[in-house]
C-alpha cells in the first residue's frame, strides 16, 4: 500500500459544521489528532465549543492558541508544535474547567502567568504546567 | 489473527454465534459497535476497504485503536445516513489521509474522533521543539 502522509491544515469546514459545533446535537466532544502531520495555523474562529478533550500534540501547528480555549475544555495538549506567542496574552479564564494542560516544547515567550494559574487552580484538580527553558 | 482484508461486502447483520468485540442491537439484528482495539487483527496489516461503511447505518462505535489496520481515508465512502458517534483509528500508522472537508457532513453525530498516530511524521514535528521543564501542581 502506498502511503500518503496525512499532512495539511485542520479543514476549516470541521469548525464550521453545525453538528460538530453542538448547535444541532451533542457536538464533537473528543478530538485527538496527535502526530497526524497537521501544519499551518489552528483555524480561526475556532467554533468546536463542545470539546472537552483536545489533543493536537506532535504536529507542526503554528500561531497562538488563545482562541481555542473554550468553556467546556478539560484536557488540552499542544506539546511539540511550533506554537508561538506570549504567555501574558493567553486568557486562561476562557477555559474554567481545564484540568490538564500540556505545552511541552512550544515556543512561547515571556514568563508563565502563575497568578492566573493559581486562579485556575481554584477550580482544577491538577494542572500540568510546562514552561520553556528558553523563554525570554 | 487473520490474514485477510477486512470484508468489504459486510451486510452488518449480527453474527451468530456472537463475536467478541462486536455488539448488536438484537431488536434490529444490526451491528452497532465494533471495538477491536489493542488487538493484532492482521499480520501484515489488513486494509480497510473504502466501501466498508457504505451500509453501516446502525453503527455507532468503530474502534480499531492499535489493531494493525491500514486505510486511505481519502477514498472512503460514507452513506448519507451514517450515524457513527465514535470513530477511533489511532495507533495505526498505515491509516493515511488526507483529511476530508466533508467528514462533518457525513458524520453529523460524531462525538469522538481519534486519529492520533496515524502517520509517522512525529519526528518532523519535533524539529520545532525546545527543551522545557514541567511540574505538576495539585490542589
- Of the residues A10, A35, A118, A135, the best mutation for testing chain B's interface (the one with the most B CB atoms within 10 Å of its CB) is A35
- CA B112/CA B94 separation, integer angstroms: 20
Asked if A11 lies within 8 A of B103 by C-beta distance, the reply is yes
> If pLDDT is split at 50, 70 and 90, which confidence band does A13 have?
low
Once rounded to an integer, what is the mean pLDDT over residues B88-97? 88
Q: A79 or B80: whose pLDDT is higher?
A: A79
pLDDT for residue A130? 52
C-alpha cell at B20: 467478541
Min Cα separation A4/chain B (Å): 6
**Residues forming a β-bridge with B136:** A128
Percent of chain A residues past pLDDT 90, beyond the cut: 26
- Strands A126-132 and B132-138, how do they pair? antiparallel
Which residues does A16 contact at the CB level (< 8 Å), separation at least 6? A47, B104
SS3 B65: coil
How large is the greatest C-alpha to C-alpha distance in chain A, in angstroms?
Answer: 52
Asked if B119 lies within 8 A of A35 by C-beta distance, the reply is yes
- CA A76/CA A94 separation, integer angstroms: 13
Q: Does B108 touch chain A (CB under 8 A)?
A: yes
> Which residue is associated with the grid cell 476562557?
A94
Give the alpha-carbon dihedral of A107, A112, A118, A122, to 10 degrees: -10
pLDDT for residue A136? 34
DSSP chain A: -PPPP--BPPPHHHHH-TTTTTSSSS---EEE-TTS-BEEEPPSS---TT-SEEE--SSEEEE--GGG--TT--EEE--SSEEEEEGGG--GGG-TT--EEE-TT-EEES---HHHHHHHHTT-SEEEEEEETT--
- Of the residues B45, B83, B104, the best mutation for testing chain A's interface (the one with the most A CB atoms within 10 Å of its CB) is B104
Q: B122 or B1: whose pLDDT is higher?
A: B1
**Residues forming a β-bridge with A31:** A54, B113
Question: Per-residue pLDDT tens for A85-121?
Answer: 888 888 889 999 999 999 888 877 777 766 555 444 4
pLDDT for residue B59? 92
Asked if B113 lies within 8 A of A28 by C-beta distance, the reply is yes
Question: Per-residue pLDDT tens for B24-77?
Answer: 998 999 899 999 988 767 778 888 888 888 888 899 999 999 999 998 887 888
* Total residue length of chain A: 136
Q: Which residues of A touch B112 (CB under 8 A)?
A: 28-31
Please state the ipTM of this predicted complex.
0.72
**Nearest C-alpha neighbor of B100 from the set A16, A10, A39:** A10
Amino acid at each position: 500500500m502506498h502511503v500518503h502522509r496525512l499532512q495539511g491544515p485542520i479543514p476549516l469546514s470541521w469548525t464550521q459544521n453545525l453538528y460538530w459545533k453542538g448547535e444541532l446535537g451533542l457536538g464533537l466532544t473528543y478530538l485527538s489528532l496527535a502526530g497526524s502531520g497537521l501544519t499551518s495555523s489552528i483555524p480561526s474562529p475556532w467554533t468546536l465549543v463542545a470539546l472537552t478533550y483536545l489533543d493536537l500534540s506532535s504536529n507542526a501547528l503554528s500561531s497562538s492558541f488563545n482562541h481555542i480555549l473554550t468553556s467546556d475544555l478539560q484536557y488540552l495538549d499542544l506539546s511539540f508544535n511550533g506554537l508561538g506567542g506570549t504567555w501574558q496574552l493567553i486568557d486562561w479564564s476562557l477555559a474554567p474547567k481545564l484540568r490538564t494542560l500540556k505545552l511541552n516544547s512550544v515556543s512561547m515567550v515571556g514568563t508563565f502567568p502563575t497568578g492566573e494559574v493559581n486562579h485556575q487552580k481554584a477550580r482544577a484538580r491538577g494542572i500540568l504546567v510546562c514552561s520553556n527553558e528558553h523563554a525570554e | 489473527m487473520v490474514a485477510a482484508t477486512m470484508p468489504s461486502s459486510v451486510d452488518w447483520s449480527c453474527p451468530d454465534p456472537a463475536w467478541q468485540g462486536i455488539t448488536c442491537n438484537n431488536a434490529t439484528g444490526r451491528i452497532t459497535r465494533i471495538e477491536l482495539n489493542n488487538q493484532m487483527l492482521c499480520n501484515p496489516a489488513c486494509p480497510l476497504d473504502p466501501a466498508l461503511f457504505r451500509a453501516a447505518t446502525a453503527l455507532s462505535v468503530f474502534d480499531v485503536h492499535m489493531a494493525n489496520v491500514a486505510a486511505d481515508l481519502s477514498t472512503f465512502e460514507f452513506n448519507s445516513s451514517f450515524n457513527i458517534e465514535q470513530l477511533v483509528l489511532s495507533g495505526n500508522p498505515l491509516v493515511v489521509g488526507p483529511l476530508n472537508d466533508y467528514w462533518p457532513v457525513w458524520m453529523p453525530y460524531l462525538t469522538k474522533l481519534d486519529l492520533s498516530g496515524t502517520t509517522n511524521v512525529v519526528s518532523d514535528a519535533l524539529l520545532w521543539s525546545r527543551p522545557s521543564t514541567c511540574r505538576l501542581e495539585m490542589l
